[in-house]
Amino acid sequence: MMLEKFALRSRALLAGAALSALLVAPAFAVTPADTLVEGFAIDDIISMDPGEAFELSTAEVTGNTYDLLVRLDLSDTSKVKG
C-alpha cells in the first residue's frame, strides 16, 4: 500500500516535471546578430532606497534612474530644469 502511494507520487512528480519542461522550452529565443545582451547579478541588492543603498548593483540602478530627473539648462546654467 505504501509502495503504491510512493509510485503514484513519483509518477505525478515526473509528469509535472515533464509538463514544466515542455512549457518552458518554447521560451528560449534567438538573439539577433547585431544585439548586445548583458546579464547582471543583482542578488546583492538589499534596498532600493538611495539613502541606504551601498551595494554596487543598487548604485548602478539608482544612478541610471535618477540621472536625468534634474539637470542644468544648457542655455543658462544657473537654472535647473526638471
pLDDT of 16 strictly over 80: no
| Backbone φ and ψ of 60, nearest 5° | -70, -45
- 58: how many CB neighbours lie within 10 A of its CB? 19
Q: How many domains does the chain have?
A: 1
Domain, as residue range, for 60? 1-81
Q: Which residue has the higher pLDDT, 7 or 66?
A: 66
Q: Report the SS3 class of residue 31.
A: coil
pLDDT in tens, 17-41: 776 766 665 666 788 899 998 888 8
Residues 47-80 pLDDT 10s: 888 888 888 888 888 888 888 788 888 899 899 8
Helix (H) or strand (E) holding 64: helix 56-66
The pTM for the full model equals 0.40
